[in-house]
Chain A
Amino acid sequence: MSFDWIKMGPDELVRDAELEFRVNMMKRFTAANLGFVKGNDGLHGDALRARIDRDYDALWWMAVVEVSRNEDTDRNRTINELLDLADAQDLLENVIVPGEYSEAIRANEPQAFVTFFVQRKYIERANKSDGEAALGVLSMSVTGPVTPDVPSPIGAPLEPGTKPVKVGPETVLVAVIDYGIAIGHDLFRREGPTGELDVSRVAFFWDMDGVPSPDAELPSSFGRIWTQNEIEQKLKQNMQNGLLDEAGFYREIGLIDWGRSVLKPCAQRVSHGTHVTGLAAGYPAEDEQGKDRKIIAVQLPGWAVHDPTGDRLDVPLERALDFIAARLGQFKITGTGKKPPIVINFSFGNFAGPHNGRGLIEQVIETALAQMAADFGSPQLMTLPSGNGNLSRCHAEFILTDDEDTERINWQVQPDDLSPSMLQVWMPVLPAVPDGAVSLTLMAPGAAGSATVQAGAAPMQAKLTENNEDLAIISYRPPNDPGEPGLFEVMVVSTGHPLNVGPLAPAGAWHLSFSKPHGIEDLTMNLWVRRDERLPGFPEFGRQSYLVDPRYGRFAEPGGKELDDDPDDHAGPVRRAGTISGYASGDTPAVIAGYVRSTGRMAGYSAGGPTLNDQRPTGPDASAVSDDSDVLGGVLSAGSSSGSRVALNGTSVAAPQVARKAADLMAAAPDQPLTRQDIAQLALDDDPPAPGKPRVRRTGGGRLRLPNLFGKLRWSAQ
């Protein structure tokens, strides 16, 4: 093994190391995963590389683009202006604008964020140092690539869905963005005129993984939308002897089709989306309450959920929220013509991000919610889980001072990790970053030498290579604006792979050392390792890397329980505090942590604050039950098949219970806004200060007393 550390020269520097890493450095792994390297077509060497490149360049990536300001018009660019810029760079063929953007929007509406489908050429151009001027792209987050078997998204503007949907005055919409949502479950159905359960409470379902169809009532640029009407047709066609033929229904809806190699979470006994939707809006058919809760469901695409770092479920969120807003626009309360209130639940969390509310997706959420509030005026609330990373050892915080001017942290990258491992280190916000304010030196296990990048006014990047193949990149990215923090990133390719992909990154302890010269003010640094674990029901893929520090005591005493709170005398940078999900650091959504019903203690994994967002310094707003007891993990809700009940834990299941409660509150007071502060107050009322109450950075206002929805027999209150 001959490792080389290479510092990138000024013309090799990219604006966003993460983009370069995902799209280029990981290319040989992604190509292998997609089966591009066949090995039985007689090609090798340069010819093979050329063929792989050709196939790879043809792939589409979903990108959320932060749009830059047009100096001439003094507002953000419109989509057409972005396309003009792309045209000027001869890249018009390499970008698809989803058909949901109308002609009018493309021509006239300045955009803060847009979702495009782009090919590698576009990404590379945007990532060059002059990318902002050339393409109007301030920054970009990508997921994918979209696997080749998925039809290309439709770029021509589509007919919008404007048919009004009339509902009663007690109606509240519950929107769920998730993965693996078995919409035919009996908890989402009601009895029809024939006495069979063939009335669906799902008003709209966008299966982003679905097979597009020209027959769809509501067209979509990718995936397939099912309206209540279409769902009911399929339900009626598949009723047999009073039961839904689930195999037939899901085959016809395309959620379970064994001819497709796409993941089929609804075929598993436990599916995350079904369980979450059951908690948020599942009602037995005979429960009258169900009549007034209409479901809008969005299923994230498998090619995004399966994305190597598992941390990029947020990119499709922009389209999902746009879809929900557009559907909300179709509803009308009979009599008043007003829009019904809406609760939106997104039960996913990540580890990384700036945690100051200004991350890309946090801003996407804020923008979308603000727009919905402005357009519709009815009560709205988004619920998010606080995250499950409390014990993951994926966060460190340390202060570099003149006296303590160095910090050393070991980052354990696991062997046989098929997905990349990545971490971020955020500087504090500074009016100007002095050159050399912080140095980060990286050493790799088994490799001699090191690379150093420094914070300052300019970006810096260095790579670790072996036989000219990239293994890792270390970068510093200066802030885009004075109010933003500078960012160090370390990204390492897979440490294991069954196919012949070339050199793998070494597994083991990667050593990071930070130092600050004298004379510069004290700097509080925040490090988060990106989430990278196998999601339940998925095949073995990622293995979570984590930080190692001897001062981090995992256990109270040897053989004792794992500590789930940093002890008061905690030393060292690695913390449980501050592991709250990056997505959950924004201003507006209600962030929910998880506690154990039987003991009242927070669930060990339930992540908490603080955050770096002044609007949300302590972290979660409230907490709900995520485990019935220490032995009976999780809470019961819908399994994939009708009649099925399964347990699932995590803050993922706490959030939708609060969504359900929020819907009830909105139904009782449909003209009153409901904010996360209201939820926090409710929690405080339910859980007043008392000895034994968990600390605020883990529980927010407190532990909400919500009804035990489906598991009363599992754990009854003592």
Chain B
Amino acid sequence: MAIESNQSQQGAFGAFGAFGTSGAFGAFGAFGAFGAFSGTGAFGAFGGGPVDPPLVSAALITSRDGIAGSWIPVSGSAVDPSGQEDVEYLERLSPAVRGSIFALELGSRIGFGFEPDAADATKPGWARVYHLEAALPGSTDAKYVPLVAVKRPTQKIFAQQLDLVANYADLRQDRMGEILSQLGTPTEFLRAIAFIEPARTPYTIELLATAHWLANFVEMRLKYALACKRPIEYSPQIQPMIWTPTHGALPSGHSTEAFTMARVLWLLLRANKVDPPKENPYDQGLWGEMLMRVAARIAINRTVAGVHFPVDSAVGAVLGLTLGRYFVDRCTFVETAGDPANFEFPKASWEFDGTKYFRTMDDGTEVGDIDFDWRAYYDPRDPANGQNPEQKTSADWVTRTALTGVDQTQAMSKPLHWLWGKAADEWKDF
């Protein structure tokens, strides 16, 4: 049960909570600490789900007793069976129940391994996240394909990053309202850019919550493996303005989640291809620009608050962007194999080598005081003018490795595809 005092005072957060104490992901209620997460279940906006008060149950017992009468057996042909493994079934489920299904669809295909440094186990090692190409039923062939990997920075780099955290404290007064509002989910801020609203776009909210779940699922395992200390542990002078969460600093959860959801949202907005001369207004680069700006601001505000280093946000951005793309690829089902449009799955794996997060001075000294700049990792460009957005490799510590032999037909999840379609329909330009 999430502690009362940890609940958000603003009910609105309940509307976007992916994680409820009595909902599908009860086990994950632990991170309800910051009030993203309603106590009454996954989608508080929908009335919190049906309840069974004792008074009503007692009434139902006596009422049945009174009206059911003598039992009439039913023949085997009375009722047709429902179709098995059929996405139409999802329509009839509650969002919380669907959440469990999507969790398995996503989670069962994510693998993790930690590869220590071969020479010296105390040096930073690689935390590796994989996509599982699963076997079709009846076969046991399965293959892990690299998705994203992270190596943490050295202590020297963290110490130099700490200067930035101290300097950013100047903005605490300015940003206090934002920081406290952003303790919940990024959806609160994304919905100020796209017309998201629980009654108007319930499936979009569900989709974003599912993407949020994936980001959280992966980032937490990485935080544990990489075990990076928080700014507060390096100096008594940081004095963050909010509680420092117990999980590791890098990657930043806020950054990962914000960038995953921003990327997913923009892809969703652009999902409907319209026939010329009509255009999808969301194809204009400005939409992606603004969504990424808000994701970056959410990330940077965590540094202002004193609970993250800029490098945490950088790793979070690369991780979040990669997972966002991956998530959409798992949702968007390719009818004909080899259709390259917007389908990248996963053509490449991404690596963030934190030990390289420094700049080199003229005299050769390496200084790890690089600030977080989201533009180093993503360029929204302008799809309306034929320039597709791209995730970037310009930074020395980010590498992209092309993958071959990946079976793209293994990518899709039919249930996720169903959800994507429902959400995309909410953005048809009326």
Which A residues form the contact surface with B (CB < 8 A)? 240-243, 245, 247-248, 251, 257-261, 263-264, 267-269, 539
Known A-B contacts A248-B373, A259-B164, A259-B167; the reply to A243 vs B174 at CB < 8 A is: no
Which B residue sits closest to A270, measured CB to CB?
Answer: B174
Binary contact readout B291-326 vs A (1 if CB under 8 angstroms, 0 otherwise): 000000000000000000010000000000000000
Cα separation A258 to B373 with both chains bound (whole Å): 12
B285 CB to nearest chain A CB (Å): 4
- B375-A267 in contact (CB<8A): no
A540 CB to nearest chain B CB (Å): 11
Asked if B371 is an interface residue, CB under 8 A from chain A, the answer is yes
B426 CB to nearest chain A CB (Å): 25
Q: Which of A241, A259, A261, A264 contacts B371 (CB 8 A)?
A: A259
Asked if B407 is an interface residue, CB under 8 A from chain A, the answer is no
Q: Which of B163, B170, B286, B289 contacts A259 (CB 8 A)?
A: B163
Which residues of chain B come closer than 8 Å to A245, judged between CB atoms?
375
Which A residue sits closest to B168, measured CB to CB?
Answer: A258
Asked if B29 is an interface residue, CB under 8 A from chain A, the answer is no
Asked if B219 is an interface residue, CB under 8 A from chain A, the answer is no
Known A-B contacts A241-B285, A241-B286, A241-B380; the reply to A268 vs B171 at CB < 8 A is: yes
Which residues of chain B come closer than 8 Å to A247, judged between CB atoms?
373
Asked if B166 is an interface residue, CB under 8 A from chain A, the answer is yes
Would you give 9 A-B contacts (Cβ < 8 Å), ordered by A? Answer: A240-B285, A241-B289, A241-B382, A251-B371, A257-B371, A258-B167, A258-B168, A261-B163, A269-B174
Which residues of chain B come closer than 8 Å to A241, judged between CB atoms?
284-286, 288-289, 380, 382
Which B residues form the contact surface with A (CB < 8 A)? 163-164, 166-168, 170-171, 174, 284-286, 288-289, 310, 369, 371, 373, 375, 380, 382
The 6 closest A-B pairs by CB, nearest first: A241-B285, A241-B289, A241-B286, A259-B369, A258-B164, A258-B167
Which residues of chain A come closer than 8 Å to B164, judged between CB atoms?
258-259
- B373-A243 in contact (CB<8A): no
- B174-A260 in contact (CB<8A): no
Q: Is the interface of B mostly helix, strand, loop or mixed?
A: helix
- B382-A260 in contact (CB<8A): no
Which residues of chain B come closer than 8 Å to A260, judged between CB atoms?
167
B64 CB to nearest chain A CB (Å): 63
- A263-B170 in contact (CB<8A): yes
Q: Which of B166, B285, B289, B380 contacts A261 (CB 8 A)?
A: B166
Cα separation A263 to B373 with both chains bound (whole Å): 20
Cα separation A240 to B389 with both chains bound (whole Å): 13
Cα separation A259 to B163 with both chains bound (whole Å): 7
Cα separation A436 to B337 with both chains bound (whole Å): 103
Cα separation A260 to B289 with both chains bound (whole Å): 27
Cα separation A532 to B197 with both chains bound (whole Å): 50
Cα separation A262 to B425 with both chains bound (whole Å): 50
A538 CB to nearest chain B CB (Å): 9
Known A-B contacts A240-B289, A241-B285; the reply to A264 vs B170 at CB < 8 A is: yes
Which residues of chain A come closer than 8 Å to B286, judged between CB atoms?
241-243
Cα separation A263 to B167 with both chains bound (whole Å): 9
Known A-B contacts A240-B289, A242-B286; the reply to A267 vs B171 at CB < 8 A is: yes
B310 CB to nearest chain A CB (Å): 8
A491 CB to nearest chain B CB (Å): 30
Other 13 A-B pairs with CB < 8 A, given A258-B167, A264-B170: A240-B375, A240-B380, A241-B380, A242-B286, A243-B286, A248-B375, A251-B373, A258-B164, A259-B167, A261-B166, A261-B167, A267-B174, A268-B170
A560 CB to nearest chain B CB (Å): 32
A12 CB to nearest chain B CB (Å): 40
Which residues of chain A come closer than 8 Å to B168, judged between CB atoms?
258
Which residues of chain A come closer than 8 Å to B382, judged between CB atoms?
241
Which residues of chain B come closer than 8 Å to A539, judged between CB atoms?
170
Which residues of chain B come closer than 8 Å to A263, judged between CB atoms?
170
Which residues of chain B come closer than 8 Å to A259, judged between CB atoms?
163-164, 167, 369, 371
Cα separation A240 to B174 with both chains bound (whole Å): 25
Which residues of chain A come closer than 8 Å to B170, judged between CB atoms?
263-264, 267-268, 539
A248 CB to nearest chain B CB (Å): 7
- B371-A258 in contact (CB<8A): yes
Cα separation A242 to B284 with both chains bound (whole Å): 11
Which A residue sits closest to B160, measured CB to CB?
Answer: A259
Q: Which of A240, A257, A268, A269 has the most CB of B within 10 A?
A: A240
- A268-B174 in contact (CB<8A): yes
Cα separation A251 to B167 with both chains bound (whole Å): 14
Which residues of chain A come closer than 8 Å to B310, judged between CB atoms?
258
A623 CB to nearest chain B CB (Å): 31
Which residues of chain A come closer than 8 Å to B163, judged between CB atoms?
259, 261
Cα separation A240 to B290 with both chains bound (whole Å): 10
Cα separation A261 to B163 with both chains bound (whole Å): 8
Which A residue sits closest to B381, measured CB to CB?
Answer: A241
B122 CB to nearest chain A CB (Å): 27
Which residues of chain A come closer than 8 Å to B371, judged between CB atoms?
251, 257-259
Which residues of chain B come closer than 8 Å to A269, judged between CB atoms?
174
Cα separation A241 to B266 with both chains bound (whole Å): 15
Cα separation A539 to B166 with both chains bound (whole Å): 13
Which B residue sits closest to A261, measured CB to CB?
Answer: B167
A428 CB to nearest chain B CB (Å): 46
Cα separation A242 to B285 with both chains bound (whole Å): 9
Which residues of chain A come closer than 8 Å to B166, judged between CB atoms?
261
Cα separation A261 to B310 with both chains bound (whole Å): 16
B333 CB to nearest chain A CB (Å): 30
Cα separation A241 to B284 with both chains bound (whole Å): 8
- A243-B289 in contact (CB<8A): yes
Cα separation A263 to B168 with both chains bound (whole Å): 10
Cα separation A258 to B171 with both chains bound (whole Å): 11
Which A residue sits closest to B372, measured CB to CB?
Answer: A258
Which residues of chain A come closer than 8 Å to B380, judged between CB atoms?
240-241
Which B residue sits closest to A245, measured CB to CB?
Answer: B375
Cα separation A426 to B363 with both chains bound (whole Å): 56
Which B residue sits closest to A264, measured CB to CB?
Answer: B170
B168 CB to nearest chain A CB (Å): 6
B282 CB to nearest chain A CB (Å): 13
Which residues of chain A come closer than 8 Å to B167, judged between CB atoms?
258-261, 264
Which residues of chain B come closer than 8 Å to A261, judged between CB atoms?
163, 166-167
Cα separation A242 to B170 with both chains bound (whole Å): 29
Which residues of chain A come closer than 8 Å to B284, judged between CB atoms?
241
Cα separation A245 to B374 with both chains bound (whole Å): 11
Cα separation A220 to B143 with both chains bound (whole Å): 63
Cα separation A481 to B382 with both chains bound (whole Å): 71
